[in-house]
Structure 1
Amino acid sequence: MITIKNLSHEFTVGKKGRQTVIPVLRDISIEVEKGEIVTIVGRSGSGKSTLLNLVSGFIHPNEGEIWINGEKVSELNETKFADFRIKNLGFIFQSFQLIPSMTAFQNVELPLILKGVSEDKRKKQTEEMLAKVGLLDYQEHYPGELSGGQQQRVSIARALIVNPPIILADEPTGSLDSETEEDLLKFIKQLNADLGITFLIITHDEKVAEIGHRTIELADGRMKEEVLV
């Protein structure tokens, strides 16, 4: 499902002639099977978020390969990766990344608009998805009118609306209280069990890490260890 081979990445900072190269990831190789929940843990600065951005195609690696669903995505240009992303990947963010001027319905509907789905089909699919996450009665509410847990559920509904086989999550419970976090983790496990969705989750939270079938620890840009749960 996701294959990462000998992945290395560095950032260059500073002005020309006075630049500094900062290694972030070094020779990372990870295999994520279909239907797995894999959690990536590590201290701040360990390279977790960079790894997720590389898999997402928002940045391109300096070295190594990334394969998703049998396609070598590390060679795709920005336009082709954007098309691949809308068909294959869903995203859950710590900060929800909802558009504040759009209702819950409109936020969830947006990927269908980008995919070119007709208005009638969009309405039906969006309402069904909001019902699935328990927010159909809140479809006309704006993000600022929703609790943190409700906003995250809108974010999940938006991630699921195009039926992606893979969901990438960046600190998905970082903005939630402990009770809402527990509910969200149960929901993720349910989605994995019922729909077979593959999850790659970046976290520093032990509770989040525990829902993974495997946990991979990064330290100083390298894989430190892998733990089977």
Structure 2
Amino acid sequence: MDATETGESFDPRGLGLSPLAATLRCRAPDVAVSSLVASAVVFALVSDPGYLSPTAELGRDVLGASSDLLVRGELAVLVGVFTGGVHLISLTGRDSSVSLRTAVPHLVAAAVLFVAGVGLAWLATPTLVDILADADRIALSAQQAVLELELFFPVAVGLGAAIPPLLVGLVRANALWSRLGGRTSGVALLFIVAFAAFFSPPDPTTFALYAAPPLAGVAVAVAWVDFR
């Protein structure tokens, strides 16, 4: 998509795609390549994800080879998805109907809030693990589950903090349509459920913990855009 084209050029069936969705439709291979490259780099560089734990007690010798590979794969997939998302937004900015400049304050706020949310939650996660263990919701002996909670729950909190300014910024830039309560929120819900299902340990409590912050973020964004 070059600067003279608009999302409507890539919505021949008249499905009412937003510029962001239309860009994904026509540039999906490019986004996929950037995601795969980022995933491969992370998988190669992060040889022992246990050392990213805030307790630093879950190295490969504790996890075991299979769990180590699984968590490395999950981390690589997560970084790949984020990279693809950033690439998609940058490609959408080439649409002549989109003005990402108007969204810069919101996008910067989203990045800052994401980093702050991840950092604060990462520091608090050992306490959360102890609370869940005391409530018999997670076993401290389940090292893979503990590591997944320590690494990926902070990402859920960061997403919850970043989603409102991100979605509002994309609406202001005309990358998304002016109402978020319909198809956009439905797609966001689908991604949140997939995120929680893929990255959380296999129990309903941690699934709910992963899903709650992003869902709250989407609710705030919908209220901000649709009901102001």
TM-score between the two structures when normalised by the length of structure 2: 0.30
Q: Which has the higher strand share?
A: 1
